[in-house]
Structure 1
Amino acid sequence: MKAVTSLPQGYTPCGEVNFAKDKKRAWILNGVGLLLFILFALAFAYIAFLFHRESLGRSASVTIGGWQLLEGILAMAFTVFGCMLVHELIHGIFFWVFTRAWPHFGFKWIYAYASAPEWYIPRTPFLIIRLAPFLLITLIGVAVLPFASLGLSLFLWLLLTLNAAGSVGDFYVIIRLLFAPSPLLVHDYGDGMTWYRGI
């Protein structure tokens, strides 16, 4: 079944995720995201270490001055913002792949989102849409690590960690959808999503 712009006859709501309305669940996922940040930070740091252990052994100690500290803070802020944009852009590209319509992008507080509010998307394509940013950024980042300088490796480590931990909402939706009944259509309207079970 392909994505459609109107809900077919016989489909009824059977699940919903709306973090704007469900504040408690949003806070719980934020806590899980913090735990994931620590775990992924350690995992990606170990991978980077495997590729750069010799360079680290030869490197001398570095004194960090005021300008270098400011540059580091700005680079970190840019990485956080850039990671969020790239993550949502990948969601948007895959929305387009499965609907052939330009997705809707938006900002709420400190997060961005991509959605397709005019569309009802089957479960498998929607799972691909949700998982794509985590998989693509992780695979490309890890593939580049062996060839990156120490400075670029630090940037990649932060990017990979932020993206993986920031995917906690995607992971939650994926788990919910995997246990939902079939056939299934998902309506992502930006602030949340509702899925519908067919007869």
Structure 2
Amino acid sequence: MKLIKEVDIINDKKAIVWLNVVAIFLVVLFWFLFKAAALLINPPAVHGTSGYGLAVSLIILFVLVIVHEGIHGLFFKVFNPKGTVSFGFKNGMAYATSPGSFYPKAKFAIIAGAPFIIISSGLLIVLAAGILSPPQFTAIAAVHASGCVGDFYWLLLISKSPKGALVEDTDKGINIYVSDVHSL
């Protein structure tokens, strides 16, 4: 195998700043998208939902960070049951990792994208059930989605990698490999 790209996202201060800038734009974009979704669903008012305040929304977001990383960990194990999974928080980023594990790029795309899809879908269901008000849903969903910026970055990188590429998860980021046949 030939290493074609090595990404150390944990220690690359420039990349961290860039991802945070992109996240600001994403929160605005997702705010409008989730606001439109909330208006389409327009659930009936449920007694008590208007009482949720900023503190409850922040608690929900904190829990979603844990759930988000847990989803990554679950899919790491689904696609490599023998791999070890660890979790951490460094440079303002929560992360799940399965160092030394190799995944075909399609499986790594699922690992990277699953939390966004699952949590966004779950939040839409919670909105439709009237558990969250449309403004709370919009804020929580937009902040969570913008926090997926690192996952979107992985998806961008692997979408640009050659067919048949393998992605190695590392404790600092990812490495992308191709077989020596692909590198000719």
What is the TM-score of this pair, normalised by structure 1? 0.78
Matches of 2:54 and 2:42, distance apart in 1:
23
Contiguous gaps of at least 5 residues in structure 2? none
3-state SS of the aligned residue for 1:46? helix
Do the aligned partners of residues 147 and 80 (structure 1) sit closer, same or farther apart at CA in structure 2, a change above 3 Å counting?
Answer: closer
Please state if 1:17 is matched with 2:24.
no
For 2:71, which of 76, 79, 90 is the aligned residue? 90
Deviations 1:130-184 (A, max 9, x none): 01011111122223322214x4544433332122111111111111111112322
Q: Do the aligned partners of 1:117 and 1:187 also contact (CA within 8 Å) in 2? A: yes
For 1:159, which of 140, 144, 166 is the aligned residue? 140
3-state SS of the aligned residue for 2:53? helix
Opposite residue 24 of structure 2, the aligned amino acid is: L
For 1:26, which of 7, 13, 16 is the aligned residue? 16
Q: Which residue of 2 aligns with 1:7?
A: none
For 1:37, which of 27, 32, 47 is the aligned residue? 27
Q: Do the aligned partners of 1:95 and 1:116 also contact (CA within 8 Å) in 2? A: yes
Q: Do the aligned partners of 1:17 and 1:193 also contact (CA within 8 Å) in 2? A: yes
Structure 1 vs Structure 2 CA RMSD: 2.5
Matches of 1:100 and 1:133, distance apart in 2:
19
Please state if 1:107 is matched with 2:89.
yes
Contiguous gaps of at least 5 residues in structure 1? 1-10, 63-67
What is the TM-score of this pair, normalised by structure 2? 0.84
Deviations 1:96-151 (A, max 9, x none): 100013411112143211111031111111111001011111122223322214x4
3-state SS of the aligned residue for 1:107? strand
Deviations 1:5-54 (A, max 9, x none): xxxxxx01101222233222221121111111011112212221233387
Matches of 2:136 and 2:116, distance apart in 1:
17
Do the aligned partners of residues 52 and 108 (structure 1) sit closer, same or farther apart at CA in structure 2, a change above 3 Å counting?
Answer: same
Matches of 1:110 and 1:27, distance apart in 2:
11
Opposite residue 19 of structure 1, the aligned amino acid is: I
Matches of 1:120 and 1:193, distance apart in 2:
10
Please state if 1:81 is matched with 2:62.
yes
For 1:147, which of 129, 132, 141 is the aligned residue? 129
3-state SS of the aligned residue for 1:91? helix
Opposite residue 93 of structure 2, the aligned amino acid is: Y
Q: Do the aligned partners of 1:87 and 1:163 also contact (CA within 8 Å) in 2? A: no
Matches of 2:44 and 2:117, distance apart in 1:
28
Deviations 1:50-105 (A, max 9, x none): 333875xxx9xx9xxxxx8xx73322331231121111111011001000134111
Do the aligned partners of residues 87 and 53 (structure 1) sit closer, same or farther apart at CA in structure 2, a change above 3 Å counting?
Answer: closer
Q: Do the aligned partners of 2:73 and 2:97 also contact (CA within 8 Å) in 1? A: yes
For 1:134, which of 109, 116, 123 is the aligned residue? 116
Matches of 2:40 and 2:162, distance apart in 1:
43
